[in-house]
Structure 1
Amino acid sequence: MEGPVSEQPNSVPRRRFIGLGLGAAALAACSAPPETRPTPPVPTSASSTTTLPPSSTLSSAAKPAGGPATELVRAASGRPEVALTFHGAGDVGIARQVLAALAQHNAHVTVLAVGTWLQDSPDAARMVLDGGHELGNHTWSHPNLSTYKPEPMLAEIERCRDRLVQLTGSPGAFFRQSQGQHANAEELREAGKAGYANVLSYDIDSLDWRDPGAAAIRKAVTAATAGSVVSMHLGHPGTVAALPGILTDLANRGLTPVTASKLMG
């Protein structure tokens, strides 16, 4: 980790993607030294993070239209399932390799797509859906969303939502905040305004965005238990190398990778 960062227990720091505007550019590490991070154009004062209990499940039926979204962190059904969730950005060729590895193991996942990735690689959304996976919204440009004021925060969510609708006819199953493991209260409010009943956070970070090597990524995912939501990335070669071992480990432990909608349903 680059310099001192204040963290909550079992959380990870806000992170950023590099090079999302380049259609074929690989997804770079999601963190950067503080001095290289761009100043957000519309910062607001710091706000506390609101995290719901791990038992949170899908609750769209009971949620008033436009009300705050519910944060989902992990499932409490007890079923032997986990959700591997992938941040959708980076080299589409690497993404194809990830999807091919998943197909070989008959594993289904959730891809939270960054809008600029969908803009530069319009075939990516169909590629994900054709593999039997599901899509969600991971903001338009992957900023440090928690620093944004409400209006531009909503614009980030809605712009990616609209691109998903344009490409697939659906806004996606979930919204996920960018550069943070958990959503804060404002992010939940703006996601709700954009039409998302649920924000999908996670309890396990594979740390593949650090490019630590396949063995380290595989080891990080061994922390997943029944009901876990695991954060991974499509744009890193180490993720491709780690996936066969990860999927074998899960199978040996009796855990089935499913979409987040199935896990939380």
Structure 2
Amino acid sequence: MMVVVLIDWDVNAAAKTEKPFHFGFKRSIGGNLPSIEQEGFSNIIQKNDALFLGNTTKKVLYLTFDNGYENGFTAPILDTLREKNVPATFFVTGHYIQDQPDLIKRMVDEGHIIGNHSWSHPDMTTMSNDQIRQELAKVRDGVAAISSQKSMQYLRPPRGIFSDRVLAVSREEGYTSVFWSLAYKDWEVNNQKGGEYAYQQIMKQLHPGSIMLIHSVSSDNAAALPRVIDDARAKGYEFESLDTLMAEQLLPFTF
């Protein structure tokens, strides 16, 4: 009798030998499109239908926030978004779900999207496939339990660390991985430089199809956001949601 032993090679082998990538990009200058070609992972991004840029055929911006923990600025940010009628996606962790259920509910009630930033913010390239699935499921179920958003479509890999396997497993779970094409070093809460600094850092990188990564823990971002929105619109840009981008079915993009 022949006995067949099934081994999860992804867990026992690939997780130990795969190459992890830290997301990076060549920034936009003067409205020109940014690039990830020099980073060596553009083929993996395309292969797994992950997002780096939005619709580059028009002057549109996609505003996204990473919410690992609350620092007192999300409510003012939401006030600004409501006043300016701007949609956004908030990528949240398990800590945020447990600590700020009222803000999660408010995001959803005011028409924003909640995205998955993992439960414990780990380096998912070091985890088994099942562990990745558990991380993602806990966030999805946690948001569903406290808000009217019962499904979850978008994932931002924690720390910007990913691999072909991580993106593939996430895609199997129904997620579109969302990276970014506009960002600056804004997450150091003890090194904030003022709203004018944030405004300049964001505005100089605007380009068609910008997926904007902003950290909600930043007092600079909260202060700059109203002016960023007004002045981006004055330059002819409009703000759209990731759902609108996905509905346009413009994937894959050319990098």
Structure 2 length normalisation: TM-score? 0.73
Q: Which residue of 2 aligns with 1:22?
A: none
**Offset from partner CA, 1:159-181 (integer Å, 9 cap, x none):** 1122122233423231110101x
Whether 1:214 and 2:228 are equivalent positions in the alignment is no
Q: Which has the larger radius of gyration?
A: 2
Query: Cα gap change, 1:203/1:86 in structure 2, threshold over 3 Å: closer, same or farther?
Result: same
Query: Does the aligned pair in 1 maintain the 2:65–2:89 contact within 8 Å?
Result: yes
- Unaligned runs of 5+ residues in structure 2 are 1-14, 22-40, 248-255
Alpha-carbon contact 1:205-1:221 (below 8 Å) kept: yes
Question: Structure 1 residue 96 and structure 2 residue 65: aligned?
Answer: no
Question: Hey, which of these two has a bigger chunk of helix by percent?
Answer: 2
Report the equivalent of 2:154: 174
Q: Does 1:201 align with 2:203?
A: no
**Residue in structure 2 matched with residue 29 of structure 1 by the alignment:** none
Distance 1:147 1:255 in 2: 39
Q: Distance in 2 between matches of 1:215 and 1:73?
A: 26
Separation in 2, partners of 1:114, 1:248:
30
Q: Please point out which of 222, 232, 244 is paired with 1:250.
A: 232
User: Which residue of 2 is the match for residue 145 of structure 1?
Assistant: 124
SS in 2 for 1:112: strand
What are the superposed Cα offsets for residues 44-69 of structure 1, whole Å, 9 maximum, x if unpaired? 44514443599x6xxxxxxxxxxx85
Q: Equivalences for 1:64-103 in 2 at 5 Å?
A: 69-76=48-55, 78-91=57-70, 93-103=72-82
Q: 1:190 aligns to what?
A: 169
Question: Letter of the aligned partner of 1:199 in structure 2?
Answer: S
| Gap change, CA 1:46 and 1:213, over 3 Å in 2 | farther
Q: Percent identity?
A: 22
Amino acid in structure 2 at the alignment position of 1:148: M
RMSD of Structure 2 on Structure 1 (CA): 2.4
Deviation, structure 1 residue 79? 2.6
- The within-5 A match list for 1:104-183 is 104-167=83-146, 168-180=148-160, 183=162
Which secondary structure does the structure 2 equivalent of 1:82 belong to?
strand
Partner of 1:233 in structure 2?
215
Unaligned runs of 5+ in 1: 1-42, 57-67
| Partner-residue secondary structure (3-state), 1:111 | strand
Contact 2:117 2:155 in 1 (8 A): yes
Matched residue pairs, number? 209
Deviation at 1:235, TM superposition (A): 2.2
Are the counterparts in 2 of residues 145 and 179 from structure 1 also a CA contact under 8 Å? no
Contact kept, 8 Å, 2:73 with 2:218, in 1: the verdict is yes
Alpha-carbon distance in structure 1 between the residues aligned to 2:89 and 2:81: 12
1:151, 1:110 → 2: CA distance?
Answer: 26
Contact 1:207 1:232 in 2 (8 A): no
Distance 2:149 2:230 in 1: 34
